[in-house]
C-alpha cells in the first residue's frame, strides 16, 4: 500500500507545474515526476542527459567537495571548480605570513606548483540504487531482533543491510570506493549510493580574499552581491586512475565527464537548474518545533558566536599570524551566526509560525473528517516531546556553542590512560601512557599556538555561558569556580593557563618528566574538559528519554502531510540529507519590501561603488581597479560592455549547495551557487518562492579573474567553452 501511495505522490508532483521550482528532487525520479514540468519551464535537453543510470550524464561531473560543499569538474584532467569559502580551509592550510594566500591569492602556473591539501577529499556518485523493497524485506526478517523498533532509521543497521545487499549482488568495494544506504520520506523509501572518493586533491587557484570574500560578514547572506566566491582544485589518482593517497607520481584524473561552459549568459526568466549536495532542511516541523529552533539553536548561535567573534576579530586585526590561524574558524562561525539571525527575523517577518499552525490545523481537521486519529496522536506526542526536551536542548546548545565549539584549548588530549596507570602504580604502563600523551600533547600545542587568544576567548565564553545558564544549572566545574575562585570565571581561566599541565609547553614538560596522580586528578583543564563532557552527556540523556517516540510520531505526521499535499495536487519531495539532488527554477528578480526592487544580476561597477579602503571587507585590489578602468574584459563582457559578477535564481537550495553548478536550459555551466539571500533564510523550514533566491557567481566573472586578473590563461585552455 505504501508503495502505491508513493507512486501516486510522485505522479501528482509531475503535474504540479506552478510549484515545480520548489523541491530538492532525487535524480532517480526526474524522468517520472519532473521532466514534463522542467520542459514546460524551458529545459532544452532530455533529462537522461542530466541523469542516466545506464550511461554518462551531467551528474557524473558533479562532486561532493570535502564533506559539506559541492564542486563541478570543468576539464578532462580533473579540474574542479567550487566556492572560495569551500576551499578556504585548504587555502589557509598553505598560508603563512611569508606566503599569505588568503590575502594575496594563489595560482599554480604549472602542475608542479599545485599544492596537496591534507585531509581534503572529492567524491563522485557512481550509482544510485533504489533498494526500498530489499530493505523492507530485511526489516521484516529482522523484526524479532528489533526490540526498540528503530532499525528502519538506524545508521548502524542500514550499514549492515547495505553490506548484505552488496554481497548478494557480488559487488566488491575496492579502496576508495564505498556504499551508503540512506532512508528517505521518513523511512518510506531507501537508496543506496555507490561512491568513489579521491584523497589526493591539490590546490590550483584561488583569488585573494578581497575578491573571493569581498563584502565578508557585512554582505554575507545578502543581495545585491559582488563576490567572486570561487576556487580551483585538481583531482589526482594513481596510474590506474583509482583513488589513492598523495604520492608525487600520481597524475591528474582523466574524468569520464566534464562540463561545457557557456559565455552566452542569461536573461530574466530564463530556465536554470542546479545539482548539488544540500545538507539539511526541516520542511515538516510543527510550529512548536520551529519555536524550539528559534529559542535554542538559533538563539545560542546568535549571541554566543557573536561574543566569540568579537574577541577573535580584535585579535586577528592585531597580528597577521593570528589572522591566518583563526581565519577559517572565524569564517565558519560567522556564516551560521548570521544565518541564525536572519532565519529568526524572517520567521517572524513572514509569520511562518502562523503558516505552520494553519497547515497543521488543516491536517488535524482532515484526520477528523477521515475518522483517523493517528495525526492528532502524533501531533500531541511531538508537542509533548518538544516541551520535555526544550530545557535540555537549550542547555546542550549553550555548552556546544560556548564551551565545545568555541574553546580550542579544550581540545587537550585525553589523560585517561595515564590516570589509570598512575592509579595502578604500574611503572611500565605509566611510561607507555606518558609517551603516548607526550605525542598527543605535541600535536595539541602545535594546533593551539596562541594561548593569549585562547585565554581571552575562554574568559568571554564562560561569562557568556553564565549569562544564559543560571547558577545551580551549570556544569559541575562551576562548583570549583564558586568555591576556589569565589565565582570569578576570569580568574579560573587565568589559573587554567598558569597552573594546568596543558596551560603551557613548559608546564607540560615539567609534569611529564615526573607524572603525578594527585596533580593530574586536580588539573584545572582536565577537570574542565571532563565537566563539559559530563554536561553534554547529561543533556543528551534527557533529550534521549524525551525523544524516545519522536521518530515514529514524526513518520506518521510526515505521511499525513504528504497525503494532504497529494490531495491538493502539490509536489512531494524528501527533506535534504546531504545526498545528490536537483532543483530547478528561473533567473528572477524580487522585491523584499515596498518600494524595493532587486535586479537579477550585478556588475563590476558595484564592486567599485562599494570600495572602502579603510574597511577590510571592502578593499578592492589595484589590478582589479586597473582592469575596470581600462574595461579590459575580453570575451567575458556583457553586450553593453559591463563586466557581470553575480546573479540570482529562484531554485530551492540550502547549506551544502555551496559550489553547486548552475546550468542553463542546454545543460551548460553558467555559474556557481554560493549563497542565499537574507530574506530567504527561512527556506530551511518554509520555502517562499516569492522571496527566496540562490546567489551565484557568474562563470564569466570567474573566467575573467582567472585569465585577466591572475594571468592563468593555461587554465582557460583546459576548458570547453562555447
Indicate which residues carry an active-site annotation: 85, 229, 658
Which position has the grid cell 537574507? 678
User: What grid cell was written down for 504?
Assistant: 603551557
C-alpha cell at 154: 538506524
Closest CA to 624 of 614, 636, 634, 632: 632
Burial class (CB in 10 A: 0-12, 13-18, 19+), 47: buried
Residue 40 neighbours by CB distance under 10 Å: 11
SS3 692: coil
C-alpha cell at 372: 483517523
Q: Quickly tell me which residue has 530567504 as its cell.
A: 680
Could you tell me how far CA 214 lies from the centroid of its own chain?
Answer: 20
Q: How many CB atoms lie within 10 A of CB 385?
A: 22
Q: Residues of 616-629 as b/e, b for ≥16 C-beta within 10 angstroms?
A: bbbbbbeebeebbe
Q: Nearest CA to 648 among 716, 563, 587? A: 587
Burial of residue 567 (CB within 10 Å: 0-12, 13-18, 19+) is exposed
If residue 478 lies in a helix (H) or strand (E), which one and from where to where? helix 477-484
Antiparallel, parallel or unpaired: β 25-26 and 177-184: unpaired
DSSP string, 518-566: HHHHH-HHHHHHHHHHHHHHHHHHHHHHHTTTHHHHHHHHHHHHHHHHH
User: Hey, CA dihedral for 380, 384, 386, 387, is it positive or negative?
Assistant: positive
Polymer length in residues for the chain: 722
**Partners of residue 234 on adjacent β-strands:** 79, 202
Residue 473's nearest CA partner among 541, 399, 420 is 399
Q: Tell me the angle at which helices 352-370 and 320-349 cross, rounded to the nearest 10 degrees.
A: 50
92: number of Cβ within 10 Å: 20
DSSP state of 705: I
Measured between alpha carbons, how far is 266 from 698 in angstroms, rounded to an integer?
A: 10
CA distances from 518 to 499, 502, 678 (A): 14, 16, 53
How far apart CA 413 and CA 526 sit, in angstroms, is 9
**Cα–Cα dist 26/573, whole Å:** 8
Which residue stretches of 400-426 are H helix? Answer: 416-424
Amino acid at each position: 500500500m505504501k508503495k502505491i501511495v508513493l507512486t501516486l505522490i510522485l505522479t501528482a508532483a509531475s503535474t504540479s507545474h506552478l510549484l515545480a521550482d520548489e523541491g530538492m528532487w532525487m535524480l532517480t525520479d526526474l524522468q517520472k515526476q519532473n521532466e514534463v514540468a522542467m520542459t514546460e519551464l524551458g529545459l532544452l535537453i532530455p533529462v537522461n542527459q542530466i541523469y542516466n543510470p545506464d550511461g554518462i550524464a551531467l551528474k557524473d561531473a558533479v562532486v561532493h567537495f570535502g564533506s559539506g560543499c559541492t564542486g563541478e569538474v570543468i576539464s578532462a584532467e580533473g579540474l574542479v571548480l567550487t566556492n572560495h569559502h569551500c576551499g578556504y580551509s585548504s587555502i589557509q592550510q598553505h598560508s603563512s605570513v611569508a606566503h599569505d594566500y588568503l590575502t594575496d591569492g594563489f595560482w599554480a602556473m604549472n602542475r608542479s606548483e599545485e599544492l596537496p591539501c591534507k585531509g581534503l577529499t572529492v567524491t563522485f556518485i557512481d550509482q544510485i540504487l533504489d533498494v526500498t523493497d530489499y530493505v523492507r524485506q530485511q526489516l521484516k526478517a529482522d523484526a524479532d531482533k528489533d526490540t526498540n523498533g528503530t532499525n528502519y532509521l538506524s545508521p548502524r543497521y542500514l550499514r549492515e543491510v547495505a553490506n548484505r545487499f552488496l554481497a548478494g549482488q557480488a559487488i566488491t568495494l575496492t579502496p576508495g570506493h564505498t556504499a551508503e544506504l540512506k532512508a528517505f520520506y521518513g523511512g518510506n523509501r531507501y537508496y543506496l549510493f555507490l561512491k568513489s572518493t579521491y584523497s589526493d586533491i591539490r590546490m590550483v587557484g584561488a583569488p585573494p580574499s578581497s575578491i573571493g570574500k569581498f563584502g565578508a560578514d557585512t554582505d554575507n547572506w545578502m543581495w545585491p552581491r559582488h563576490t567572486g566566491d570561487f576556487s580551483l582544485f585538481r583531482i589526482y589518482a594513481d596510474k590506474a586512475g583509482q583513488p589513492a593517497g598523495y604520492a608525487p607520481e600520481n597524475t591528474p584524473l582523466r574524468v569520464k565527464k566534464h562540463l561545457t561552459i557557456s559565455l552566452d549568459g542569461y536573461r530574466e526568466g530564463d530556465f536554470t537548474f542546479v545539482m548539488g549536495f544540500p545538507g539539511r532542511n526541516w520542511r515538516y516541523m510543527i510550529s512548536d518545533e520551529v519555536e524550539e529552533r528559534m529559542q535554542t539553536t538559533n538563539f545560542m548561535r546568535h549571541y554566543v558566536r557573536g561574543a566569540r567573534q568579537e574577541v577573535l576579530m580584535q585579535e586577528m586585526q592585531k597580528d597577521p599570524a593570528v589572522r591566518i590561524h583563526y581565519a577559517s574558524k572565524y569564517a565558519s562561525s560567522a556564516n551560521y551566526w548570521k544565518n541564525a539571525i536572519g532565519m529568526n527575523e524572517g520567521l517572524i517577518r513572514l509569520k511562518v509560525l502562523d503558516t505552520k499552525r494553519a497547515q497543521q490545523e488543516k491536517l488535524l481537521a482532515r484526520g477528523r473528517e477521515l475518522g483517523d486519529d493517528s495525526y492528532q496522536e502524533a501531533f500531541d506526542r511531538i508537542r509533548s516531546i518538544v516541551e520535555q526536551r526544550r530545557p535540555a536542548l537549550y542547555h546542550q546548545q549553550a555548552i556546544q556553542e560556548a564551551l565545545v565549539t568555541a574553546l580550542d584549548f579544550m581540545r587537550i588530549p585525553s589523560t585517561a590512560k595515564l590516570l589509570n596507570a598512575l592509579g595502578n602504580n604500574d611503572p611500565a604502563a605509566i611510561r607507555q601512557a606518558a609517551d603516548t600523551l607526550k605525542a598527543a600533547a605535541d600535536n595539541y600545542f602545535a594546533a593551539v599556538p596562541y594561548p593569549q587568544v585562547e585565554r581571552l576567548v575562554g574568559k568571554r565564553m564562560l561569562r557568556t555561558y553564565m549569562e544564559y545558564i543560571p547558577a545551580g544549572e551549570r556544569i559541575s566545574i562551576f562548583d570549583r569556580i564558586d568555591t576556589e575562585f569565589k565565582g570569578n570565571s576570569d580568574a579560573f581561566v587565568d589559573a587554567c593557563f598558569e597552573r594546568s599541565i596543558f596551560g603551557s609547553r613548559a608546564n607540560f614538560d615539567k609534569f611529564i618528566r615526573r607524572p603525578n596522580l594527585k596533580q593530574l586528578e586536580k588539573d584545572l583543564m582536565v577537570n574542565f574538559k571532563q565537566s563539559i563532557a559530563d554536561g553534554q552527556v547529561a543533556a543528551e540523556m534527557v533529550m534521549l528519554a524525551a525523544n524516545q517516540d519522536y521518530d515514529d510520531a514524526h513518520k506518521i505526521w510526515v505521511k499525513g502531510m504528504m497525503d494532504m499535499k497529494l490531495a491538493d495536487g502539490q509536489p512531494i519531495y524528501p527533506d535534504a540529507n546531504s545526498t545528490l539532488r536537483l532543483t530547478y527554477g528561473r533567473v528572477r528578480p524580487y522585491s523584499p519590501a515596498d518600494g524595493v526592487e532587486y535586479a537579477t544580476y550585478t556588475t563590476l561597477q558595484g564592486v567599485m561603488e562599494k570600495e572602502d579602503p579603510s574597511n577590510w571587507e571592502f578593499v578592492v585590489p589595484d589590478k582589479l581597479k586597473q582592469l575596470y578602468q581600462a574595461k579590459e574584459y575580453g570575451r567575458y563582457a556583457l553586450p553593453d560592455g559591463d563586466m557581470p559578477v553575480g546573479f540570482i535564481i529562484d531554485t530551492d537550495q540550502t547549506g551544502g549547495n555551496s559550489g553547486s553548478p548552475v546550468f542553463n536550459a542546454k545543460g551548460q555551466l553558467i555559474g556557481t551557487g554560493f549563497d542565499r539571500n537574507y530574506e530567504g533564510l527561512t527556506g530551511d523550514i518554509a520555502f517562499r518562492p516569492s522571496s527566496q533566491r540562490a546567489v551565484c557567481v557568474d562563470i564569466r566573472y570567474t573566467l575573467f579573474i582567472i585569465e585577466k586578473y591572475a594571468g592563468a590563461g593555461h587554465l582557460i585552455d583546459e576548458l570547453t567553452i562555447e
